[in-house]
């Protein structure tokens, strides 16, 4: 089940809202959320519910153990046990085939192992469980004694499948003491509508435009215009797909009394790659910063060690997104870019206008999306070669020209929606009065498009 499905919007979500509102007791409301969250997760393949329960139970038990032992050595062992076992479960499903096939290719073996079926949302709930145990170990929060509340923290359906990655300290108080005001419900529902419209009206239409490009699967030589057009459409698709999901999750969380952290902050207006990653998938960036980069020493180390820290973080970030060499290259690409950018900031002083810096940043981001888009490294590198005019596909092709003409309005609308004009506009009293009408029309339009569109799951579900 996905947020943008008719089943979810017409039956599942209304049922949760009605029952959650009907009960006055917080214990009953938590029970409603927990039961529906487990149903939501088990909807497609119930067997994977066992994996999520295993990870949650393990970290719940280890966190309690951390509160009952004083020995630093034993506490470190308890933390290691929770992290290692959680990661082992993730690594087995996500990286076994990648490791076996890479080793086989290295030694010249001919056997190829098919990737294991990936449990839904395993990367997100694993990281969330690890942050809980690590924060208890560091003394940043208290261990939760109620196993059902610990499970609700991990399994709460608005955020468990594709984030944002929520830390226990962000919601601990709300698990035992929260109220939902009419304003929270209204603002949360508006955020839900905005996210749905991003997914249905922009991301899905960009996906259809990409599919209309004959070279979208990498079967033939790409023209320069076609390669840039494909990456621009993909940049719009992945941003509105993922930020749309995050908006829907944040909105629904607020409707039930939770305030989840923001996950995106208009990344395509960034004037540097460093700024881009401060605005894109912010909860994941914060996780790697706080639980990998800083424990390794951050930037308060000698230069060589800092280079190691940066590359370690970005190679892990790439591998987190997928078990293939194109994601490893994608992570290394950004690690090298960030180091080069820091070097340039220290040693090169040029008064470059901000619009030019934004444009250059977007070029680097589009090259990165080329590595991200394909399932193999040669295909991604080949696409970058086509963007540079090195593929022999010519400057333009009829299909690219046709897709550009047919989707020019869509791309202009997507580009406009990447800009932060809506925030100051929303503060105006006249606009605020018209918001219910606008949101109603936006929801109706999204619903109509959703009825006519084929099934198109969120991109980040595969991670």
For 296-321, how does the pLDDT look when each residue is reduced to its tens digit (9 = 90+)?
998 888 888 999 999 999 999 999 88
| Mean pLDDT of the region 258-278 | 94
* Residue 216, pLDDT above cutoff 60: no
* Residue 463, pLDDT above cutoff 60: no
Which of 88-97, 158-167, 182-191, 251-260 is the least confident region?
Answer: 158-167
Q: What is the mean pLDDT of the chain?
A: 88
| Mean pLDDT of the region 165-176 | 89
For 3-46, how does the pLDDT look when each residue is reduced to its tens digit (9 = 90+)?
888 888 889 999 999 999 999 899 999 999 999 999 998 887 78
pLDDT value at residue 394 = 82
Q: Which helix (H) or strand (E) holds 138?
A: helix 122-138
pTM of the predicted model as reported, rounded to 2 decimal places: 0.91
Please enumerate in sequence order all residues whose Cβ is within 8 A of that of 193, keeping only pairs 6 or more positions apart, or say none. Answer: 251, 439, 442, 443, 446
| Mean pLDDT of the region 168-193 | 90
Res. 454 pLDDT band, cuts 50 70 90: low
Burial of 311 (0-12, 13-18, 19+ CB in 10 A): middle
Helix axes 49-68, 147-155, angle to 10 degrees: 130
Q: Are 160 and 125 in contact (CB under 8 A)?
A: yes
pLDDT value at residue 375 = 83
For 154-221, give the DSSP string.
HH-TTTTTT-----HHHHHHHHHS----HHHHHHHHHHHHHHHHIIIIIIHHHHHHHHTSTTTTS-SP
Burial of 305 (0-12, 13-18, 19+ CB in 10 A): middle
Please enumerate in sequence order all residues whose Cβ is within 8 A of that of 9, keeping only pairs 6 or more positions apart, or say none. Answer: 3, 196, 447, 450
For 281-296, how does the pLDDT look when each residue is reduced to its tens digit (9 = 90+)?
999 999 999 999 999 9
* Residue 218, pLDDT above cutoff 70: no
Res. 2 pLDDT band, cuts 50 70 90: confident
Res. 53 pLDDT band, cuts 50 70 90: very high
pLDDT value at residue 458 = 67
* Residue 258, pLDDT above cutoff 80: yes
Residue 129, helix vs strand vs coil: helix
Q: Are 58 and 86 in contact (CB under 8 A)?
A: yes
Res. 455 pLDDT band, cuts 50 70 90: low
* Residue 206, pLDDT above cutoff 90: yes
Burial 395-413 (b: 16+ CB within 10 A, else e): eebebbeebbeebeebbee
In eight-state DSSP terms, residue 10 is I
More confident residue, 225 or 112: 225
pLDDT value at residue 456 = 62
Q: Are 213 and 403 in contact (CB under 8 A)?
A: yes
321 is catalytic: yes
Burial of 390 (0-12, 13-18, 19+ CB in 10 A): exposed
* Residue 231, pLDDT above cutoff 90: yes
* Residue 429, pLDDT above cutoff 70: no
Q: Reply yes or no: is the peptide bond before residue 115 cis, omega within 30 of 0.
A: no
pLDDT value at residue 365 = 96
| Mean pLDDT of the region 118-146 | 89
Q: Give me the catalytic one of 20, 321, 347, 383.
A: 321
pLDDT value at residue 107 = 79
């Amino acid at each position: 089940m996905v947020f943008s499905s008719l089943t979810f919007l017409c039956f599942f979500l209304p049922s949760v809202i009605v029952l959650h509102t009907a009960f006055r007791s917080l214990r009953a409301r938590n029970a409603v959320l927990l039961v529906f969250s487990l149903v939501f997760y088990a909807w497609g393949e119930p067997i994977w519910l066992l994996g999520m329960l295993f990870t949650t139970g393990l970290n719940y038990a280890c966190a309690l153990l951390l509160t009952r032992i004083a020995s630093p050595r034993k506490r470190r062992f308890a933390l290691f046990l929770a992290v290692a076992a959680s990661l082992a479960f993730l690594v087995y499903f996500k990286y076994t085939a990648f490791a076996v096939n890479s080793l086989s290719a290295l030694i010249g073996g001919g056997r190829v192992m098919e990737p294991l079926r990936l449990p839904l949302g395993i990367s997100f709930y694993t990281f969330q469980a690890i942050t809980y145990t690590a924060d208890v170990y560091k003394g940043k929060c208290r261990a939760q004694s109620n196993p059902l509340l610990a499970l609700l923290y991990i399994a709460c359906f608005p955020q468990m499948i594709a984030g944002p990655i929520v830390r226990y300290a962000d919601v601990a108080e709300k698990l035992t003491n929260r109220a939902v005001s009419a304003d929270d419900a209204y603002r949360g529902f508006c955020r839900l509508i905005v996210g749905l419209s991003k997914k249905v009206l922009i991301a899905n239409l960009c996906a259809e435009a990409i599919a209309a490009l004959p070279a979208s699967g990498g079967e033939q030589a790409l023209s320069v215009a076609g390669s840039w057009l494909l990456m621009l459409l993909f940049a719009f698709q992945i941003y509105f797909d993922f930020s749309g999901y995050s908006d829907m999750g944040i909105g629904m969380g607020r409707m039930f009394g939770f305030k989840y952290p923001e996950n995106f902050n208009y990344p395509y207006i960034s004037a540097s790659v460093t700024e881009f990653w401060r605005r894109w998938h912010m909860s994941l960036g914060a996780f790697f910063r706080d639980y990998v980069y800083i424990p390794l020493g951050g930037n308060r180390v000698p230069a060589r060690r800092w280079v190691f820290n940066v590359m370690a973080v970005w190679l892990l970030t790439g591998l987190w997104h997928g078990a293939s060499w194109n994601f490893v290259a994608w992570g290394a690409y950004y690690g090298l870019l960030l180091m080069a950018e820091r070097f340039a900031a220290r040693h090169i002083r040029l008064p470059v206008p901000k619009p030019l810096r934004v444009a250059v940043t977007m070029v680097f981001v589009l090259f990165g999306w080329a590595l991200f888009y394909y399932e193999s490294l040669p295909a991604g590198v080949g696409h970058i070669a086509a963007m540079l005019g090195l593929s022999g596909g010519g400057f333009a092709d009829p299909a690219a020209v046709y897709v550009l003409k047919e989707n020019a309005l869509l791309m202009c609308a997507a580009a406009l929606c990447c800009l932060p004009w809506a925030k100051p506009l929303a503060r105006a009293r006249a606009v605020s009065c018209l918001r219910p009408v606008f949101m109603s029309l936006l929801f109706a339009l999204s619903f109509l498009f959703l009825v006519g569109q084929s099934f198109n799951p969120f991109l980040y579900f595969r991670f």
